[in-house]
Amino acid sequence: MSFPFELNGAEPGAVQLARFLGGYGHFTAMQVRAGRVRGLDLHLTRLASSTRLLFGSELDLDQVRGYVRKLVAGQGALSVRVHISSYAGEEAPVMAPEILVRTGPPHEHVADPIRLKSVRYERDLPEVKHTGTFGLIHHSRQAALAGYDDAVFIDHSGHLSEASIWNLGFLEGDTIVWPEAAVLPGITYLLLKERLGAAGVAQVTRPVHPRELSGFDAVFLTNSETIGRPVASVDGVALRSDPAAARLLTEAYESAPWDEI
C-alpha cells in the first residue's frame, strides 16, 4: 500500500522535495483514526508557535487542516506528519512557510519495557520539534551499539531531561513526577498532564537526578506512539515497574476526546 504526501496541497517534484527537506524546519506527528486525532489544538498551536519562532511568519492553520483532511479522507488509520519549512533564504527576516503533509502506516502504542543508556546531551531549541535530529539519532545509535535499546539524556546541571524521541516521567506513590528541564513538550505529554489533572491525579515538576531512579515505583516514556512505555533499566541498573503506572496513564490518555480534523 502506498501512502501519499503533498507539498502545499499538490504532489511535489523531486527538486521541490529536495529543497524542502534541506534541514531548517519543524514538524508535528500524529496518529489519525477515521479523520480524527487526539489533541488537535495542541498540534496546531505547536505548528503556529514554531513557525513564528523559526520563520517570523504566521501559519494558516485552516490551510494546514485542509491539506491534512484531503490526504486522510476515506482512510481508517494512518500516521500523519506535517512538516513546515521555507524556500526563502535564511537571511530573510520573514520566511513564508511551506507545508508538507506526509502519511504512513498507523502505529499502535508500544508497551514493551525498554533499556536506556544515559548520556550528557541537550538539544538546540528543545521547545521546538525541529528537523535537526542528528544528535538524537547519533546518541540513539551509540546506545544501541553498546547493547541498549535507546538513550536518555542528562542536562548540564546533571539532571534527567528526556529521551531521544520521548518525554520522560516517573511514578512516586500516587504522584506523577515530571522532570524540570529544557525539553520538547510532546503532545502526548501535554495531553497526559491535562487529563491527569482533570482526573485529580497529583503531579509535580521538579529536577530529577539519576541517583533517584531506583526509588521510583515506575519510570516511563511517552510520545505520539507511546502512552507510557516502561523503562526496565538505565545504564544496566534494573528499575521497578509498577503496573499501576500503565493503567493510570492509559486511562488518562483515553479520556481525551478525538477531534475532527
pLDDT tens digits, one per residue of 128-181? 999 888 999 999 999 999 999 999 999 999 999 999 999 999 999 999 999 999
Contact (CB, 8 A) for 21 and 81: no
Q: Are both 149 and 76 inside the same structural domain? A: no
Do 44 and 140 sit in the same domain of this protein?
no
CATH number at residue 26: 3.30.470.10
Is residue 12 one of the residues assigned to a domain? yes
In a shared domain, residues 63 and 180: no
Task: Report the mean per-residue pLDDT for the chain.
Answer: 93
Confidence of residue 29 (pLDDT cuts 50, 70, 90): very high
Are both 140 and 204 inside the same structural domain? yes
In a domain, 109, yes or no: no
The residue among 59, 77, 104 that closes a domain is 104
239 and 125 within one domain: yes
Q: pLDDT (tens digit, 9 = 90+) per residue, 77-116?
A: 999 999 999 887 777 788 899 999 999 999 888 889 999 9
Buried residues in 23-59 as b, exposed as e (16+ CB within 10 A): eebbbbbbbbeebebbbbebbbebbbebbeebbebeb
* Residue 134 sits in the same domain as residue 248: yes
Give the domain CATH number at 180. Answer: 3.20.10.10
Does the structure show a pLDDT above 80 at 127?
Answer: yes
Contact 103, 71 (CB under 8 A): yes
Q: For 135, how many CA atoms within 13 A lie in the half-sphere containing its CB?
A: 13
3-state SS class at 121: coil
C-alpha–C-alpha distance, residues 96 and 2, integer Å: 30
Q: Are residues 37 and 145 in the same domain?
A: no
| Residue span of the structural domain in which 87 resides | 5-104
Cell numbers representing residue 252 in the block: 488518562
